């Protein structure tokens, strides 16, 4: 398969998807989200593939978020469509894939980047990784499942603090929070993930797909939360704070929020 924004590597039972927009720190625009969906769908139907790793190209970023330049001028309706189509095409899709997906977090995982890592089945980080949900600094909220999956993984209080401060945590803190399972030097990250993938591929793919279903089923009773996130995300697009936050980012200055 040919992609504009991804590199797809396959060896034996392992497939690695590398998100490849290094000049934009691998920010997720809509084309990349669609390509990720297509790549994952293709790998799910390839009987040779047992485990998938998702990582970012370069040494700086896994994914630095959704592409702010692409949505800065969206209306409320376009904002909620952005969240709902992204959730369906990529974030829910990854979470419910029948094959294990490991996020190899090789640098910044911010906003939609952290939300992608959260949707993967588990995460391994390099020592230089930094993670956070900076959306409220732009006048918007996480819209790709971050308000739902982050509290599940690290607890409500820690998630609230990270979301409200728009702050970043480093790899060691992320491990302490249970956000990532392991932290390794950057040059060892992919080998480390491949080693886990090899151990997974010794086991029954059918049983693993049932395990994914069963684990996910335990979290399915909060569909309302995801719906509420999409609605609130869309509503942000109608506010002066959103206009100021996104404009300030694109103009490379600090936002001055007018507030409610
Ligand atoms: N959307 C669009 N473009 C982005 C981006 C994003 N989420 N994150 C980074 N970029 C672009 C920058 O605009 C810049 O493009 P330019 O060279 O054409 O000006 C390029 O990627 C490099 O980023 P830069 O900010 O110059 O790198 P830095 O090392 O100074 O800072 C970050 C790195 C990650 C701290 C900073 O890029 C950042 O804060 N990104 C946005 C994070 C965010 O808010 N994500 C949530 C989005 S909802």
- Three-state DSSP at 153 gives helix
- For residue 247, count CB atoms less than 10 angstroms from its CB and return exposed for 0-12, middle for 13-18, buried for 19 or more: middle
Q: Let me know how many helices (H) and strands (E) the chain has, helices first.
A: 12, 10
User: What's the CA gap between 243 and 33, in Å, rounded?
Assistant: 24
| Residue 207 falls inside a structural domain | no
CA of 168 to the centre of ligand 1 (A): 14
Catalytic residue status for 115: yes
Residue 249 forms part of a structural domain:
no
188 is catalytic: no
Tell me whether residue 95 is in a domain. Answer: yes
- Per annotation, catalytic residue among 11, 44, 59, 135: 135
The answer to whether residue 167 is domain-embedded is: yes
- The pLDDT tens digits of the residues spanning 102-131 come to 999 999 999 999 999 999 999 999 999 999
Sign of CA dihedral 221, 136, 169, 198: positive
CB of 95 shorter than 6 A to ligand 1 = no
The pLDDT of residue 221 is above 90: no
Q: Find residue 47's DSSP bridge partners.
A: none
Whether residue 91 contacts residue 116, with contact meaning beta carbons closer than 8 Å, is answered with yes
d(CA 110, CA 40): 21
Give the span between the Cα atoms of 175 and 212, in whole angstroms: 22
**Predicted confidence (pLDDT) per residue in 31-67, tens digit:** 999 999 999 999 999 999 999 999 999 999 999 999 9
Query: What's the total number of domains in the chain?
Result: 1
Active-site entry in 44, 70, 95, 115: 115
Q: What pTM value is reported for the model?
A: 0.97
**Residue 3 has which token pair?**
């992609």
What pairs with residue 7 in β-bridges? 18
Residue 68 contacts residue 27 (beta carbons within 8 Å): yes
Which residues constitute the domain of residue 158? 6-188
Q: Is 170 contained in some domain?
A: yes
pLDDT tens per residue across span 225-244: 999 999 999 999 999 999 99
Atom of ligand 1 nearest to the CA of 24: 21
In a domain, 242, yes or no: no
pLDDT band at 87 (very low <50, low <70, confident <90, very high): very high
Q: Is 251 exposed, middle or buried (0-12, 13-18, 19+ CB in 10 A)?
A: exposed
Give, using CA atoms, the residue closest to atom 21 of ligand 1.
24
In a domain, 224, yes or no: no
Place 260 in a pLDDT band, splitting at 50, 70 and 90.
Answer: low
User: CATH number for the domain including 149?
Assistant: 3.90.226.10
**Domain contains 62:** yes
């Amino acid at each position: 398969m040919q992609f504009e924004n991804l590199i797809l590597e396959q060896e034996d039972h392992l497939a690695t998807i590398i998100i490849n927009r290094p000049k934009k720190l691998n920010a997720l625009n809509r084309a990349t989200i669609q390509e990720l969906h297509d790549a994952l769908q293709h790998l799910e139907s390839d009987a040779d593939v047992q485990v998938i790793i998702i990582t970012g190209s370069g040494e700086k970023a896994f994914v630095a978020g959704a592409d702010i330049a692409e949505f800065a001028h969206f209306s409320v309706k376009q904002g909620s469509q952005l969240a709902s189509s992204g959730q369906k095409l990529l974030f829910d899709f990854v979470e419910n894939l029948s094959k294990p997906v490991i996020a190899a977090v090789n640098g910044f995982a911010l906003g939609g980047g952290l939300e992608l890592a959260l949707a993967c089945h588990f995460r391994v980080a390099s020592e230089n990784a930094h993670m956070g949900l900076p959306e409220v600094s732009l006048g918007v909220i996480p819209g790709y499942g971050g308000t739902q999956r982050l509290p599940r993984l690290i607890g409500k209080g820690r998630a609230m603090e990270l979301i409200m401060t728009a702050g970043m945590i480093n790899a060691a803190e992320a491990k302490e929070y249970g956000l990532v399972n392991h932290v390794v030097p950057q040059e060892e990250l992919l080998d480390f993930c491949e080693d886990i993938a090899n151990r997974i591929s010794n086991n029954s793919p059918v049983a693993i797909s049932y395990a994914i279903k069963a684990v996910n089923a335990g979290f399915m009773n909060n569909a309302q939360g995801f719906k509420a996130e999409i609605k609130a995300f869309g509503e942000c697009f109608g506010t002066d704070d959103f206009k100021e936050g996104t404009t300030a980012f694109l103009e490379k200055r600090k936002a001055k929020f007018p507030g409610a």
